[in-house]
């Protein structure tokens, strides 16, 4: 025990700058993350406490160092280190861990910070303006019970949405996030869940009257005639047996009302890159400065040399000076660059020889 205390004391004295792996985290103590050491040596601390550090997204290097010190001191096996560290995440770090656990995506910490959805004051103001427009006349109208109701449904990966309309004017909106038990459902099952939930939501408007359900999932058009083959159909179809409905297929691009409620638009920046050879302009300048190219004027007729756009060509290949500073750049472009391929000597020489002499 004293040997361990000596190791901890030595680490505390010679730790990294601004890092105190043995600082107390407050009054909260966990039975698995706090250790008290009692010894008889007056030069050693009598009650040394080592708490696992919490991480809120700031100072990851310091946190990793303190966590490693805790693992070493407590002899934590490698199989349980990640699980133990996840119990002490806070704030944005906890959100990142939940994202990785839930979606198993290859999203790194830097990508998570960069792509994190930020709700700014401008977004808050725009949201309230949009909400006011969508929930007040003339956009939103009162229902006319003498006319036929139409439900437009849609489902996304994480939610289901529906709009109750008459004559293409919305009467009411419905939106619900999928629970953990329904996130793993197939696309067909999620779309069917949107239909069932929407009908149950507006039951007072629809019961006893014919109405239309529009969905962008074509197979649901034949839902009333389909043979019940899955547990989901067995559980959900009886809930809408007492309704007089007709299901119509509506293409996704035309089903904009429900589609806009079920997903957040992800804007992709599309750019077009065009390769530009900067060495070409450099070569044009070198031709005017290098004496090697000046002497080529006398040998033009006898050596099939042609000058075009300020550059000399031999047999339709660029004629380079033996002392040209572009030789290393051309070699790097045809060998070491991402498009070079890192081929061997003969292949690289053959590749350069197709364009240069």
The full DSSP string for 2-33 is: HHHHHHHHHHHHTPPTT--TT---SS---TTT
Between CA 59 and CA 244 the distance in angstroms is 61
CB under 8 Å to 281, separation ≥6 — which residues? none
- The pLDDT value recorded for residue 337 is 75
pTM: 0.45
Q: Are 296 and 312 in contact (CB under 8 A)?
A: yes
Cα dihedral across residues 342, 344, 349, 350: positive or negative: negative
Q: What is the DSSP string of 52-80?
A: PPPBSSS-HHHHHHHHHHHHHHHT--GGG
Residue 99 CB neighbour total at 10 angstroms: 14
- The pLDDT value recorded for residue 26 is 42
- The pLDDT value recorded for residue 244 is 93
- The pLDDT value recorded for residue 196 is 94
Residue 236 CB neighbour total at 10 angstroms: 19
- The pLDDT value recorded for residue 163 is 92
Between CA 92 and CA 107 the distance in angstroms is 14
The domain ranges of the chain are 2-114, 126-262, 278-353
Domain 126-262 matching CATH 3.30.420.10: the answer reads yes
* Paired tokens of 357: 């002499």
- The pLDDT value recorded for residue 246 is 92
- The pLDDT value recorded for residue 162 is 93
Between CA 258 and CA 162 the distance in angstroms is 5
Beta bridge partners of 55: 89
* Paired tokens of 10: 């030595």
Between CA 56 and CA 91 the distance in angstroms is 5
Of 280, 292, 295, 288, residue with least CA distance to 326: 280
- Tens-of-pLDDT digits for all 357 residues of the chain? 443 443 444 445 444 444 444 444 444 444 444 444 444 445 544 444 567 888 877 777 888 888 888 888 888 888 888 888 888 888 777 877 776 766 555 556 666 666 666 778 888 899 899 888 888 887 788 899 999 999 999 898 888 999 999 988 889 999 998 888 888 899 899 999 999 999 999 999 999 999 999 998 888 888 888 887 788 888 998 999 889 999 998 876 555 555 555 555 555 545 555 555 666 777 777 776 777 777 776 666 556 777 777 787 877 788 887 777 777 878 887 777 767 777 888 888 888 888 887
- The pLDDT value recorded for residue 50 is 63
* DSSP code of residue 136: S
Of 182, 199, 198, 190, residue with least CA distance to 156: 190
Q: Are 49 and 22 in contact (CB under 8 A)?
A: yes
Helical pair 327-335 and 278-289, crossing angle rounded to 10 deg = 160
CB under 8 Å to 123, separation ≥6 — which residues? none
């Amino acid at each position: 025990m004293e040997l361990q205390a000596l190791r901890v004391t030595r680490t505390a004295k010679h730790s990294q700058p601004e890092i105190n792996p043995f600082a107390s985290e407050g009054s909260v103590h966990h039975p698995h993350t706090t250790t008290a050491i009692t010894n008889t040596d007056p030069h050693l601390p009598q009650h040394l406490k080592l708490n696992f550090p919490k991480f809120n997204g700031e100072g990851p290097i310091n946190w990793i160092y303190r966590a490693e010190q805790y693992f070493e001191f407590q002899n934590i096996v490698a199989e349980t280190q990640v699980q133990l560290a996840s119990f002490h995440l806070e704030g944005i770090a906890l959100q990142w861990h939940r994202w990785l656990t839930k979606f198993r995506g290859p999203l790194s910490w830097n990508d998570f910070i960069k792509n994190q959805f930020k709700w700014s004051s401008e977004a808050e103001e725009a949201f309230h303006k949009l909400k006011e427009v969508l929930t007040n006349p003339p956009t939103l109208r009162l229902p006319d019970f003498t006319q036929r109701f139409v439900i437009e449904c849609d489902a996304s990966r994480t939610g289901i949405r529906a709009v109750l309309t008459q004559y293409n004017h919305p009467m009411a909106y419905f939106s619900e996030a999928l629970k953990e038990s329904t996130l793993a459902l197939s696309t067909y099952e999620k779309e069917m869940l949107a239909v069932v939930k929407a009908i149950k939501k507006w039951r007072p408007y629809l019961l006893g009257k014919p109405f239309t359900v529009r969905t962008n999932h074509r197979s649901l058009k034949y839902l009333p005639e389909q043979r019940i083959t899955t547990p989901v159909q067995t559980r959900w179809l009886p809930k809408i047996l007492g309704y007089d409905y007709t299901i119509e297929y509506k293409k996704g691009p035309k089903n904009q009302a429900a589609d806009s409620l079920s997903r957040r638009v992800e804007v992709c920046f599309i750019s077009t890159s065009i390769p530009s050879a900067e060495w070409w302009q450099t070569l044009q300048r070198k031709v005017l400065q290098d004496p090697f190219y000046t002497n080529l004027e006398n040998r033009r007729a006898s050596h099939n040399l042609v000058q075009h756009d300020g550059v000399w060509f031999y047999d339709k290949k660029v004629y380079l000076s033996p002392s040209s500073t572009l030789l290393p750049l051309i070699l790097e472009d045809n060998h070491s660059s991402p498009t070079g391929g890192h081929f061997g000597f003969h292949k690289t020489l053959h590749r350069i020889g197709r364009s240069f002499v």
